[in-house]
Amino acid sequence: MNEFSLIERYFQPLSPVLLKDDAAVLSIPAGHELVVSSDTLNEGTHFIAGADPADIAHKALRVNLSDLAAMGADPLAYQLNIAFSAMPDEIWLEAFTAALAADQAAFGIFCSGGDTTSIKGPLSISITAMGVVPAGQAVTRGGAEPGDVLLVSGPVGGAFCGLQALQRQPGFTVSEALIEACYRPCPRTDLAEAVRMYAHAAVDISDGLVADLSHICEASGVKAVLEAETVPLSEEVKVLLRSGAVSRESLLSGGDDYQLLMAVPPQHTQHFPGSTVIGRFEEGAGVRVQDVDGQVLSFKEKGWTHF
C-alpha cells in the first residue's frame, strides 16, 4: 500500500470531501466566523510506542474539540496530518479510523483532508480542527473581569490519577474509568453555546488547573482566587486524596482533564448546570490558591510544560 491507496481506502471514508484535490473547499454558515486550532500527539511524549490506535485517535481529535468548546465554537471539520515511520498494518489502520469515525458521529465533525508523510522517527499525529461561531461571539482567555466567578465544568484530577496508575506508581491502582480519563477525555462541546452566550473568558484544562487559570489571569489582566477545597473531585479521586496517595497540589496541577475553566458573571452561573464555582476574579494579577481558612497554598509545579 502506498500513501495514495492508504488515503483512498482509510481516510476517504471519513470525509464527504473528495480527497483527490490539493485542498478542500468548505462553506461556513452566513454570519459566522471560523475558529481554528491545532494539537499534536507525538509517540514518546503524549503516548507510548505500541499504544492502542483507537486511544490515540480519540485523544488526538478530542483535545482539539476541547479547544473549540473553550472558544465557544461548534465543531465543523478537521484536517488529519500524520507522519508514519513505516506503513502501519491494516489492523492498526482499521482501529484508528473506526475510532475517528465514531467520534465524528458523536461530536458532529467531519474530516476535510490532511497530509500523510514518512518520518525517520516516532509516530506523530497532528489535527487541525475548525469550528464556527456567530460573528463576534468567540470567547478568548482575555475577557475575565473583576467580580466574575470562576467556574469549572466538572471534576478534575482524574486523568492525573489514571496516569499515575499507568506509570505503575507503587501501590497505586485505579478503576478503568480513571485510566480512560487519560486516553479518552470528554471534550465539553455540549457547553459551547453557553460559553459564547455567558462566559467572559474560558480555557480548557490541558496543562493543569492552576497553570491554565494563570493563562486567563495573564490574558485578562486580573487576579484569580481559587478556593482549593471547593474544586470538584470524583468519589474515587476523593478516596485517593484522603488516603494520601495523591496530594491536592498534584490534582490541581495535573493536566489532561479537558474540563472547561470559565469566568462568568455571578448572575449567569445557572446556565452551566453541573459546573461548580471554585473561586472568583479580582483586580490584580496572578493566581492565589487558598484553603478553607484563607491560607495560601504554594505550588512547586503549576502544570505541564514541554521545555
Asked if 293 interacts with ligand ADP (CB under 6 A), we say no
Total residues belonging to the chain: 307
Output the residue with the shortest Cβ distance to ligand ADP. 113
Enclosing H/E stretch for 116: strand 110-118
Asked if 208 interacts with ligand ADP (CB under 6 A), we say no
Asked if 22 interacts with ligand ADP (CB under 6 A), we say yes
* CA atoms lying within 13 Å on the CB side of residue 5: 5
User: Which residues of 218-297 form beta strands (DSSP E)?
Assistant: 223-227, 260-264, 276-282, 286-290
The Cα–Cα gap between 13 and 206 comes to 30
CB of 3 to ligand ADP, least distance (A): 6
Q: How many CB atoms lie within 10 A of CB 94?
A: 14
Q: How many CB atoms lie within 10 A of CB 224?
A: 26
Among 42, 116, 269, 290, binds ligand ADP (CB under 6 A): 116
Residue 111 touches which of Mg ion, ligand ADP, none (CB < 5 to 8 A by kind)? ligand ADP
Instruction: Show the site string, 103-132: x = touches Mg ion by CB under 5 A, - = not.
Output: ------------x-----------------
Among 65, 69, 70, 82, binds ligand ADP (CB under 6 A): 82
Residue 57 touches which of ligand ADP, Mg ion, none (CB < 5 to 8 A by kind)? none
For β-strands 201-204 and 149-152, DSSP reports them as: unpaired
Please give the residue ranges that form the binding site for ligand ADP (CB under 6 A): 7, 11, 19, 21-22, 80, 82, 111, 113-116
